[in-house]
Structure 1
């Protein structure tokens, strides 16, 4: 059954009016899931030390987190196409809160797999919210400014990722990062892990409460006039995958998210390794610089994209990010290395929203299906960091930065292919007019 969220043919004017107050609420959701996602970067050094993990094992946190996008995205797209954007957001927020609450028993058990399960559930809820909120933000207003509007929303996502490390570092890393003493017996080791894991409990309990408040607020506005959602079937996904701009855009999302997450996950250990800082707490605080630059870049990008073609902006930023990753991984040390790797955040800024809007451009009522495919591609955040971790264990953390550098090469190519009109942006059998109700 399809729930119409637009009450009448006259809703076009209503949508224009409601966008002025509904868009800020949707932008708040971007902030919330950015805040939750970036806490994994702070969590990694804590869990790595507590459970004596190598880099590849520590990156399982990101693997389990972003694996949820691969598993949940298509079902989420199907669900949103039937219950509508706002109800999908409410359900996603409730699942996110449930994942946060799971950190309490995980800490009490002092068991690494329990943390991985909590991260998976949290990410499942984030996936559902993203599948609904990304196309909703793009659709709340003038279609010609969808790139700029979604980039602005992503700027507030980056605001969340900037504040998240400060919040997480103050509650998770402030007490320090301790490894178990060699020769501990089983009982002492278990008690040590429970005590160290307990530092993770409070921040996630606070976040769960905030998410439930947001869910209640979104439920209150569930009948707001928003763009119509057409029911999506599995056959639609197969048809949409034959759209070159969408399918190659999904590959670009895969590589972009993977590169961004791999760099963010390695930041604490990398900054200590190159001598830019001497403690995990200080390095954890510097993560906020990485994400803060992404926020600044998205505010700038929202303005630049009003006049510069999106493909050109994407190709330029990807090239700059790739060069910085290459330099940080091969030639730079100390402060110069820290500046280079943190500056990648500035050029990452516009990539996700620009790739997203370029990919769904022209899909019309197939947009929820396209959004589901793109959110599925966020599983790159599981695969690329794990590959980076394996490379770090074998060749060193610095050379492992070549993995995300290669990812940026393709992203630059995608931007140029779109700019010069090489990629088609509509299903061959699609007779739906973009934006038609």
Structure 2
């Protein structure tokens, strides 16, 4: 990648990474609040599953429209990030996100579902800008071969936010009792506080010196631009399917666990298990950052992964209101996660394929079992979702050079999957007793099947490139 500010191999990017990681944490926390809002708004406004999934439709639909606008502007007039810089782009995304949070105040005051959806749309637009700028920025803060490792680390803190959100957010909205009274006003203060915290993060980023990366580009109005790269085109659908699958599963966990033939749990209890789902993603991303690193031996990696898994597991245990016996099933998934990483052999594409295959198996188990087996299967999906976004993202933009930001906007546009897949699953869930909630999970099954295909494709493509390079060398 030709840049006006060149990356130095010896440059220390620790401070910029820590700063951006803080942003990822808040971003994950607020995004996961949607999983709390869905059952809350469903009961408040007496919605069907399909209508309640409009929460995700508006939020993630904003990703599509915002990214489409960004792509069109970058294609015809030049990349906006290259013009204003990543730092200003990130700050502008935070400000729009904070505005979306503030809009929850009038939505709650007037108790109007349409206003809630509007606030979520604005919030989604802000996060769209952050997805385009922050993910690409992290991938540039170091060498290309370690990009997946870095992005997994920042995504791990994003997952830390999603782990805490069901507990803290669930307490703020549902209260500590299952006998709470649901009112629209419950969301007013929490989201105003979120807006304030986001603005403080923006102020921090404004005052921290961040390195600048700007590509030397020419505006191209002919040809396909970033779309001429096959790994990007397939990666766009990969992000669509992964985000759609992850969001759909997370959106339905509370409703799934409420079913008598599963566990018959209340929202106040189910939110703790939802935290386990997102907590699994956090553990997996920390382990992914270590496993996909090329700077240490396999023995050192294994030891560090075991220590990290133990520490993060204890952290989750201290957060959720569950006994060790209720959480012990998670240790089985941790062991399986280690095995999956070993099979992946630190290769992003191969690891992606292995994790996707496991998730397909777990979803089928959740669909055709009942009780604890169904519950454990659905919760175990989180830990294997862990490395998917970062691996699909870095595989998709690998080798794009001056098209990196444009390609990033297309990948972020594909987050539209988070808007459409839950709505499709919601429509199927409403067909109870024909299909119902349990068998509606066939939709994310199809999503993870495509992610499996993408992982296999990229793995084979990389092998072909290596073979061609070795042949040329001889």
Q: 1:237 to 1:254 in 2, by over 3 A?
A: farther
| Other-structure match for 2:185 | 198
Structure 2 residue 52 is matched with structure 1 residue 12: no
| Other-structure match for 2:135 | 134
Structure 2 residue 402 is matched with structure 1 residue 402: no
Q: 1:220 to 1:275 in 2, by over 3 A?
A: same
Contact 1:16 1:140 in 2 (8 A): no
The 4+ residue runs of structure 1 with deviation greater than 3 A are 15-18, 74-78, 175-179, 229-238, 422-425
Contact 1:30 1:153 in 2 (8 A): yes
TM-score normalised by the chain length of structure 2 = 0.80
For residue 357 of structure 1, report the CA deviation from its aligned partner.
0.2
Contact 1:84 1:229 in 2 (8 A): no
| Other-structure match for 1:255 | 241
Alignment partner for residue 27 of structure 2, among 23, 33, 44? 33
Contact 2:85 2:213 in 1 (8 A): no
Write the distance in 1 (CA, Å) between the matches of 2:239 and 2:121: 20
Write the distance in 1 (CA, Å) between the matches of 2:194 and 2:217: 32
TM-score normalised by the chain length of structure 1 = 0.87
Contact 1:173 1:284 in 2 (8 A): no
Write the distance in 2 (CA, Å) between the matches of 1:352 and 1:205: 29
Alignment partner for residue 457 of structure 2, among 417, 421, 434? 417
| Other-structure match for 1:106 | 107
For residue 130 of structure 1, report the CA deviation from its aligned partner.
1.2
| Other-structure match for 2:315 | none
Contact 2:288 2:387 in 1 (8 A): yes
Structure 2 residue 352 is matched with structure 1 residue 357: no
Q: Describe the superposition over 1:116-171 as per-residue Cα deviations: whole angstroms up to 9, x where unpaired.
A: 00000001101101100101111101222111111111111111111111111010
Structure 2 residue 353 is matched with structure 1 residue 315: yes
Q: How does 1:362-401 map to 2 (within 5 A)?
A: 362-394=399-431, 395-401=435-441
Structure 2 residue 192 is matched with structure 1 residue 155: no
For residue 326 of structure 1, report the CA deviation from its aligned partner.
1.2
Write the distance in 1 (CA, Å) between the matches of 2:218 and 2:444: 34
Q: Describe the superposition over 1:233-267 as per-residue Cα deviations: whole angstroms up to 9, x where unpaired.
A: 57489322232100110000001000000000001
RMSD after superposition: 2.2
Contact 1:254 1:380 in 2 (8 A): yes
| Other-structure match for 2:228 | 242
Q: How does 1:267-346 map to 2 (within 5 A)?
A: 267-273=253-259, 274-306=261-293, 307-329=345-367, 331-346=368-383
5+ long unaligned stretches in structure 1: 1-5, 180-191, 426-437
Structure 2 residue 97 is matched with structure 1 residue 96: yes
Contact 1:294 1:348 in 2 (8 A): yes
| Other-structure match for 1:44 | 38
For residue 355 of structure 1, report the CA deviation from its aligned partner.
0.2
For residue 16 of structure 1, report the CA deviation from its aligned partner.
4.6
For residue 351 of structure 1, report the CA deviation from its aligned partner.
0.5
| Other-structure match for 2:313 | none
For residue 278 of structure 1, report the CA deviation from its aligned partner.
2.4
Write the distance in 1 (CA, Å) between the matches of 2:218 and 2:70: 11
Alignment partner for residue 53 of structure 2, among 32, 49, 59? 59
| Other-structure match for 2:318 | none
Contact 1:250 1:374 in 2 (8 A): yes
Q: 1:57 to 1:314 in 2, by over 3 A?
A: same
Contact 2:225 2:403 in 1 (8 A): no
Contact 1:96 1:122 in 2 (8 A): yes
Q: 1:99 to 1:234 in 2, by over 3 A?
A: farther
Contact 1:66 1:123 in 2 (8 A): yes
